């Protein structure tokens, strides 16, 4: 999605437009998923909206932290550049701290937050992959399968959401999602194998799936309840 178009004084890339549309529909999906609990819907949407803004701000303005000399020499560069991968990792740490503190402070049940995050992620990812197919018309088999994977897991979330209180219930579907990513990444053009025919991303997903398999066998005997049930 390298094309761009003029919007007043701003130049908006198609990739950025696709991200905005995808995130917007992700929040629509969260609202629909939690529609029967208005109080929790409002709390979760506010929480995740603030988290998303925090991620963007930290990622964007961490450029000053990681490239201080360049930012001082050319302050306008802050508007055009970001913190890159280092900024993304810093944003990830910041949002984890924010979510942990806010969930505890406002006593929001963890399983509602998890349901909202999973729904928003799957919906936004599915829409983005679909838009990529329409706008780029390349690597279609990879993107179409990603859309199908996201749609399937969204369907599962809708069917199983009433029982998603126990931690152990989440482990298996997340593990299978990770496995699905190992499979679908075989369809990425010019994929570079690092070990055993798997790319770097596939190895990460594979290791994550193994970790979840280990945890699922440890959590089930213990019970794996949320803080809400314990209290």
d(CA 125, CA 156): 16
Contact 146, 126 (CB under 8 A): yes
Q: Which of 142, 161, 180 is the last residue of a domain?
A: 161
Considering the domain architecture, whether residues 64 and 140 belong to the same structural domain is answered as: yes
Name the domain count of the chain. 2
Nearest to 120 by CA among 15, 18, 31, 14: 31
Considering the domain architecture, whether residues 50 and 8 belong to the same structural domain is answered as: yes
Considering the domain architecture, whether residues 76 and 129 belong to the same structural domain is answered as: yes
**For each of the chain's 231 residues, which pLDDT tens digit applies?**
556 665 555 556 777 888 899 999 999 999 999 988 888 999 999 999 999 999 999 998 888 888 888 888 888 877 777 788 888 899 999 999 999 999 999 999 988 999 999 999 999 999 999 998 888 777 789 999 999 999 999 999 988 888 888 777 889 899 999 999 999 999 998 888 899 889 999 999 999 999 999 988 887 544 444 444 444
d(CA 230, CA 87): 37
Backbone angles phi, psi at 10, to 5 degrees: -105, 150
Backbone angles phi, psi at 38, to 5 degrees: -60, -40
Considering the domain architecture, whether residues 138 and 178 belong to the same structural domain is answered as: no
Nearest to 226 by CA among 127, 97, 103: 103
| The pLDDT of residue 7 | 59
Considering the domain architecture, whether residues 156 and 169 belong to the same structural domain is answered as: no
Q: Which of 113, 146, 161 is the last residue of a domain?
A: 161
Considering the domain architecture, whether residues 138 and 112 belong to the same structural domain is answered as: yes
Q: Which domain holds residue 98?
A: 4-161
Considering the domain architecture, whether residues 89 and 116 belong to the same structural domain is answered as: yes
Considering the domain architecture, whether residues 15 and 71 belong to the same structural domain is answered as: yes
Whole-model pTM? 0.83
Q: Which of 105, 140, 161 is the last residue of a domain?
A: 161
Considering the domain architecture, whether residues 37 and 144 belong to the same structural domain is answered as: yes
Considering the domain architecture, whether residues 136 and 24 belong to the same structural domain is answered as: yes
Considering the domain architecture, whether residues 132 and 182 belong to the same structural domain is answered as: no
Q: Is 118 helix (H, G, I), strand (E, B) or coil?
A: helix
Considering the domain architecture, whether residues 75 and 118 belong to the same structural domain is answered as: yes
């Amino acid at each position: 999605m390298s094309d761009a178009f003029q919007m007043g004084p701003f130049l908006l890339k198609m990739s950025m437009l696709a991200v905005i549309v995808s995130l917007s529909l992700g929040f629509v999906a969260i609202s629909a998923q939690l529609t029967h609990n208005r109080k929790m819907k409002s709390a979760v949407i506010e929480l995740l909206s603030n988290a998303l803004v925090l991620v963007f701000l930290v990622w964007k303005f961490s450029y000053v932290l990681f490239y201080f000399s360049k930012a001082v020499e050319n302050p306008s560069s802050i508007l055009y550049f970001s913190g890159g991968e280092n900024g993304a990792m810093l944003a990830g740490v910041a949002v984890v701290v924010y979510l942990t503190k806010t969930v505890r402070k406002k006593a929001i049940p963890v399983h509602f937050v998890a349901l909202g995050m999973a729904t928003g992620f799957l919906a936004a990812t599915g829409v983005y992959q679909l838009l990529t197919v329409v706008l780029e018309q390349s690597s279609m088999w990879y993107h179409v399968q990603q859309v199908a994977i996201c749609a399937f897991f969204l369907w599962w979330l809708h069917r199983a959401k009433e029982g998603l209180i126990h931690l152990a219930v989440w482990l298996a579907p997340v593990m299978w999602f990770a496995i699905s990513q190992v499979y679908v990444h075989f369809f990425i053009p010019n994929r570079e194998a690092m070990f055993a025919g798997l790319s770097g991303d596939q190895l990460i997903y594979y290791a994550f799936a193994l970790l979840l398999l280990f945890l699922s066998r440890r959590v089930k005997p213990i019970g794996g309840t949320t803080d809400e049930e314990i209290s």
